[in-house]
Amino acid sequence: MHSIRNMFMIKKILIFLFISLNANAALEVTIAQGKVEPTPIAITQIFGADSDTARYGNTLRQIISNNLTNSGLFYTVNEDLYIQSENLVEKVPRFEDWKLIKAQFLLSADVSKIDKGIRLRMRLYDVFNAKEIEKLQLTIPDENLIRRVGHTVSDIVYERITGETGYFDTRIVYVSEVGPLDQRVKRLAIMDQDGHLDSHQFLTDGKNLVLTPRFAPNNQIITYMEYKNNLPRVYIYNLKTGEREIVGDFPGMTFAPRFSPDSQSVVMSFSDPNTANSEIYLMDLNTRALSRLTNDSGIDTSPSFSPNGEKIVFNSDRGGSPQLFIMDKNGGNIKRISKGKGVYGNPVWSPRGDLIAFTKLTQGNFHIGVMDINGNNERVIVRDFSLESPAWSPNGRYLIFHRQKRSNLDGTGGEVTLHFIDITGYNERVIPTPRDGSDPAWSPLL
């Protein structure tokens, strides 16, 4: 818990110590749909005067380079090609040298020890226009925050060059899985979005089955489902305090929780113990007031709010097979939106508001796709035997999900892994986890 608390301190620290010395307008790089040619960026050595700061510099360079490359929008020009090798934080680069090796942008930085901790200075240059486009320095109290600095710098570079909001200084909560498939031990775990092992932490001990964690959009709170005393119920987990709390005192199963956009309410399914029929309810976390949103003899589950809080998309088999529906926030005006053949599930509204991600089972395979909010323009992003649990990056450009292999009667197979993909369908990557992983969800920017 101690290190978690530390992680939260950094937000304030970064805000207070950011000294952005330059405020040019962001360079707009329009990103149309389809395959994007990654933009070449050169990242000089991140210079440090002693062995500690040189080590921090190496770590930082690696984090920044990995982040930018993994986004699919950049690639780091091979260091061996660099003609100019000096620190370019205080010195104007020889742009011709960088043009020659086709670097479109150039990042240089250095790290030093100062009285109050560790200081990073950074410069970002537009090589082709031969000008500086970002200049900043930031200070952290100790090296525990180095990874966050790397993610923050990555976000700044990403934002300055693409004009989109970054997503690197974020975390992923997911379910870590281990053991035989019929007695799986599942634990909540959390890590930086890049899955780096140094950032990985377990949040629960594996004693109780836990499923489907989701982040609040505005704070460091998670909602999830846990089988405590074999009673499946929805809980919230406050990452700042470590407190866990049941959401409401329901006589039957509660499941499929998600936060409202203001993070003040949880929308979820409740299975009436007198009928075992699942309906969608909204619970205000402050007043504990409960409102029922659906009323139908079919299964109603997997609700997900639109980012403006006006609508909810959900999964229902009211028409026979499971399909996607949209309703007003109070449950009115229900309309089916899924139009294709197949069994739909897991609808998740994009943080940009314009798309809904979903899973679809058809012809023996699962598909993860996106559609407009009226169900038009459905397109498949990835297809495989078993795919589930799409979740959006906070900037709405990427999805994470899990993929499970077929299992066999002898107990082999069934490996389940976390994946990242651009919604264009390109640039799929595995997010490394120490054990198997499922049900990923993305935090807001820290």
Q: Is 204 in the site for another protein (CB under 8 A)?
A: no
With binding defined as CB under 8 A, does residue 389 bind another protein?
yes
DSSP string of 68-124, one letter each residue: HHHTTSEEEPPGGG-S--S--SSS---HHHHHHTT-SEEEEEEEEEETTEEEEEEEE
**Among candidate residues 73, 5, 70, the one with its CA nearest the CA of residue 34:** 73
Is the Cβ–Cβ distance between 134 and 125 less than 8 Å?
no
Edge-to-edge strand list for the sheet holding 335-336: 300-305, 311-316, 323-328, 335-336
Judged by CB under 8 A, the number of residues near another protein is: 48
What number of H helices and E strands is found in the chain?
Answer: 4, 30
List 170, 301, 306, 443, residue binding another protein (CB under 8 A) = 301
Interface segment toward another protein; rule CB under 8 A; list 10-18, 44-52, 76-84, 224-232:
224-232
C-alpha–C-alpha distance, residues 227 and 283, integer Å: 20
Query: Interacting stretch for another protein, rule CB under 8 A, among 51-59, 103-111, 135-143, 270-278?
Result: 270-278
Residue choice 53, 199, 223, 269 for contact with another protein (CB under 8 A): 269
Nearer to another protein, 157 or 253 (CB): 253
**Interacting stretch for another protein, rule CB under 8 A, among 161-169, 371-379, 384-392, 422-430?**
384-392
Query: Does residue 343 belong to the site contacting another protein (CB under 8 A)?
Result: yes
Q: Pick the piece of the chain touching another protein (CB under 8 A) from 96-104, 120-128, 138-146, 247-255.
A: 247-255
Span from 101-109, 127-135, 206-214, 374-382 in contact with another protein (CB under 8 A): 206-214
Helix (H, G, I), strand (E, B) or coil at 152: helix
Positions in 400-419 near another protein (CB under 8 A): 404, 406-411, 413-414
Output the smallest distance, CB 233 to another protein, in A.
11
Across 311-378, the runs of DSSP E, i.e. the strands, are 311-316, 323-328, 335-336, 343-349, 355-362, 365-372
Q: How far is the CB of 290 from another protein (least distance, A)?
A: 19
Taking contact as CB under 8 A, which single stretch among the options 52-60, 73-81, 82-90, 386-394 is the one that binds another protein? Answer: 386-394
Cβ closer to another protein: 411 or 434? 411
The DSSP bridge pattern shows strands 39-48 and 105-114 to be parallel
CA-based end-to-end distance of the chain: 17
Closest CA to 277 of 265, 294, 290, 291: 294
Identify whether the C-beta of residue 147 lies closer than 8 Å to the C-beta of residue 155.
no
Both tokens of 8, joined, read 């939260």
Provide the minimum distance between the beta carbon of 111 and another protein in the complex, in angstroms, as a whole number: 44
Minimum gap (Å) between residue 424 Cβ and another protein:
24
Among the candidate windows 84-92, 102-110, 341-349, 419-427, which touches another protein by CB under 8 A? 341-349
Binder of another protein out of 9, 83, 92, 276 (CB under 8 A): 276
Q: Does 253 bind another protein (CB under 8 A)?
A: yes
CB 323 within 8 A of CB 316: yes
**Contact residue for another protein among 114, 115, 180, 249 (CB under 8 A):** 180
In angstroms, the CA 184 to CA 178 distance is 6
Site string for another protein, 102-131 (x = CB under 8 A): ------------------------------
Binding flag, residue 296, another protein (CB under 8 A): no
Sign of the Cα torsion 331, 390, 379, 72 reads positive
- How many C-beta atoms lie closer than 10 Å to residue 350's C-beta? 21
Residues forming contacts to another protein in the complex (CB under 8 A) are 180-184, 209, 211-212, 225, 230-232, 252-253, 255-256, 269, 271, 275-278, 299, 301-302, 315, 317, 321-322, 343, 345-346, 359, 361, 385-386, 388-389, 404, 406-411, 413-414, 439
